[in-house]
Amino acid sequence: MGTFLTRHLQNALAALGQLSRQPVATLLTVGVIGIALALPASLQLLVQGGQRFAGGWSGIRDFSVYLKPGTDLAVARNLARALASHPNVQDTRLIEADAALAEFGRDPAFGEALKALKSNPLPHTLVVRPDAEAAPADLDALKAELAAKPEVDLVQLDTQWLLRLAAILDLVRRGIWIAAVVLVAAVIFIVGNTIRLDIQNRRQEIEVSKLLGATDAFVRRPFLYIGFWYGMLGGAVALLLLASVLLLLRGPLERLLQLYSVDFTGFGLSPGTALLVLGAGLVSGWAGAWLAVGRHLSAIEPQV
């Protein structure tokens, strides 16, 4: 096992040394791989930023249940607890009538007018956040169920907006995955073509190695490590590009979010995204090398 690991380490270092002896070609290949990997990751960060700026898609899906004026507060609280356990509801928040009136009273535009009222005209309101997996048809059924309750006056739910939102989210998610698959495939082709050229340049060396008894696995191993290093370095370049873009945009973006009272903390390149980018680089680099070696190495045989 020690000899096996030592030979793999030697091959890995030798492959890295070979790349370092061709700095211009290596930098060009690694740069292209880095840009290809950074594009889908930047799209994902853009979607995450949009979700954060909008307060989260789940907040947009919230709808309101207005109870009839004069409904007892205990009844409103019981209904809120019952809704919290509903299978299509993620969370329920009760806005009491007195709290809503006090909130309006702090607004100078309504403060004087509210003082003239002898009683509170506002009803208790339930803000219902549906489950993220709930379909619009399920929410329609929930709306009908709530509207049938005697203490409910109005249920405000725009299912058409939910349908549009679901379609937009599905389109964005699929677009990111399609872009990721296409660009990772491009990385595989780039690495495969680079390894193919390297195999052709070392054709005589491979023939001599096979003539001396080297197995295909022995000859294949250095090229696989070249693909490994291309993927690793390309992933590192992609992370560097993403970090640079976030650093350049941090100041203006932070000022914009502060204007809308949105917390900037936590926005950026997460460890999960970084590992995913590096993993995609390693897998695509290794796959490209494996495909190129498997296709072209078997065609090289020593001429006796």
Same domain for 130 and 229: no
Q: Considering its fold, how many domains does the chain have in total? A: 2
Same domain for 257 and 188: yes
Same domain for 133 and 266: no
Same domain for 111 and 80: yes
Same domain for 212 and 284: yes
Same domain for 191 and 283: yes
Question: Structural domain of residue 98, as residue ranges?
Answer: 69-150
Same domain for 48 and 85: no
- Which of 95, 115, 150 terminates a domain? The answer is 150
Instruction: Sort strands 125-130 and 89-95 into parallel, antiparallel or unpaired.
Output: antiparallel
- Which of 127, 150, 173 terminates a domain? The answer is 150
Q: Is residue 117 part of a domain?
A: yes
Find all residues with CB under 8 Å of 63, minimum gap 6, and list them.
127, 128, 130, 139, 143, 155, 156, 157, 158
Same domain for 89 and 44: no
Same domain for 172 and 40: yes
Q: Is residue 22 part of a domain?
A: yes
Which residues in 247-281 are b (16+ Cβ under 10 Å) and which e? eeeeeebeeebeeeeeeeeebbbeeebbebbbebb
Mean pLDDT, contiguous 10-residue spans, the chain (304 residues): 73 82 88 90 74 54 83 88 86 85 68 66 84 76 86 79 70 83 89 85 77 74 88 92 85 72 65 87 90 76 61
Same domain for 242 and 287: yes
pLDDT of the residue at 112 = 64
Cα–Cα distance, 207 to 204 (Å, whole number): 5
Q: Is residue 199 part of a domain?
A: yes
Backbone angles phi and psi of 70, in degrees to 5:
90, 0
Same domain for 221 and 93: no
- Which of 150, 174, 199 terminates a domain? The answer is 150
Q: Is residue 45 part of a domain?
A: yes
Q: Is residue 176 part of a domain?
A: yes
Same domain for 178 and 141: no
User: Which tokens belong to 296?
Assistant: 């072209």
Backbone angles phi and psi of 266, in degrees to 5:
95, -10
Find all residues with CB under 8 Å of 126, minimum gap 6, and list them.
64, 65, 67, 76, 79, 80, 83, 92, 93, 94, 95
Q: Is residue 102 part of a domain?
A: yes
Q: Is residue 38 part of a domain?
A: yes
CATH code, domain carrying 128: 3.30.70
Secondary structure, 3-state, 162-191: HHHHHHHHHHHHHHHHHHHHHHHHHHHHHH
**Alpha-carbon Rg for the chain in angstroms:** 30
